[in-house]
Structure 1
């Protein structure tokens, strides 16, 4: 089974577990006498104040007849009330009654207790990963259902400079990727952490900068230019890394475009980077930006045998559009 299949099956397994643990396998949900679809209807009406049956059909992704029967039961139970549209009396909107508002408050309290109890078993980094990952995955599923061609990656933002959590996130992405693809362990992660931390102390220099890609507030990619450590006024392209969820969607090209444009503005005579042989997608990207392989050597300093490669790009090479 390849990596894509592994990811697919892992997500499917986790999704089934979430459905079970949140109680969706039961006939009622959130300690109410109502089904999952009815509970979601109440929550949507709480969020939007008033909605038509047609709007609920679209939001819930259910067929019209099912929604109609469910709404009738909720009205009969006293949870909802039909409200005439002030512009078009033929249009009936639905809203929560006072009884329905009280029930929704109970549902929110129940849901918050569930989430807060689970989060106690996660550290802050894991909590942030869950928050970002679930939001991104939910958006992706919604796009699939709607048939939209745009993806969440259109919402990725590129910015420069330090931000809280940057050092740890760069280290985390490197450790996760290279442990899986190259077998690197604690020594490699420690070297990355040390290097990034030292570099951060020099970000106040005009010749140094870092760019990050963020999605839903979560850092999903980074690249840095160090204009000091190589000497000879050469730039060092460092810590170019993407979260697995963003690979193959043009995020890396956007990051490198910013970094290379910076190198050209600074008129560094050359920009150098070091990587490992076998990372073909990255190699293709480097080639497209005018980098050329200038040296390679086999070593095991990172914990496993790899071929290290040095690439150099001279000032003035054509930079492709992002």
Structure 2
């Protein structure tokens, strides 16, 4: 059996997950965690800070600092919930939406290019395998779960 850790280490490097900056969009350098936050805020409809932090498996203190940075960058808006002023609702600004869409396009182009080196059967096999791995990781007590 191949060395699984070695395979995952290589994939991590090739995906750029070890890079401080994951992408540049609109003249801004966006870190990997910031990219994930923008993605989740865009995907979820007006989520609370707690919801996004839980989805990403991040502690609220670290998450809060990231949100402050994204607010300073004018990418995220933080609004008190009218029903409970202790809760903050997150939304993307127009600039934030542009950045999120730009990153999404960059990732889709990257993945399309990677998958272009496979035939249809190989693509479907890899996609199904990723789904199986993701499902197994979600069930595992040893994995970080959102």
- Provide the TM-score with structure 1 as the length reference: 0.41
Distance 1:142 1:30, change over 3 A: farther
Question: CA offsets, 1:244-293, max 9 Å, x none?
Answer: xxxxxxxxxxxxxxxxxxxxxxxxxxxxxxxxxxxxxxxxxxxxxxxxxx
CA contact (8 A) 2:23 2:31 kept: no
CA distance in 2 between counterparts of 1:53 and 1:46 reads: 13
Q: Which runs of 4+ in 1 moved over 2 A?
A: 83-90, 142-147
1:25 aligns with 2:21: no
TM-score under structure 2 normalisation? 0.86
The answer on whether the counterparts of 1:23 and 1:30 sit within 8 Å (CA) in structure 2 is no
Distance 1:128 1:35, change over 3 A: same
Residue deviations 1:173-199, cap 9 Å, x none? Answer: xxxxxxxxxxxxxxxxxxxxxxxxxxx
Is 1:37 the counterpart of 2:33? The answer is yes
- 1:93-128 deviation line (CA, Å, top 9, x unaligned): 111110000001100110011001011110111100
Once the two structures are superposed, the pairs formed by residues 294-309 of structure 1 within 5 Å of their partners are: none
Q: CA deviation at 1:139?
A: 2.5
What is the SS of the residue equivalent to 2:23?
coil
- Structure with higher Rg: it is 1
* 8 Å CA contact retained: 1:24, 1:36: yes
Match of 2:125 in 1: 129
Match of 1:87 among 83, 90, 105: 83
Per the alignment, residue 95 of structure 2 pairs with 99
Contact 1:81-1:94 at 8 Å conserved across structures: yes
RMSD: 1.8
Q: Is the 8 A contact 1:49 1:96 kept in 2?
A: no
Going by fraction, where is helix more abundant, 1 or 2? 2
Partner secondary structure for residue 31 of structure 1: strand
Determine the C-alpha separation between the residues in 1 that align with 2:98 and 2:20: 21
1:27: Cα distance to partner?
A: 0.6
Gaps of 5+ in 2: none
Aligned length, in residue pairs: 140
SS at match of 1:93: strand
| Maintained 8 Å contact 2:49/2:87 | no
Task: Give the corresponding residue for 1:62.
Answer: 58
Report the alpha carbon displacement of residue 146 of structure 1 after superposing the two structures with TM. Answer: 6.2
Higher strand share: 1
Aligned-partner Cα distance in 2 for 1:91–1:63: 16
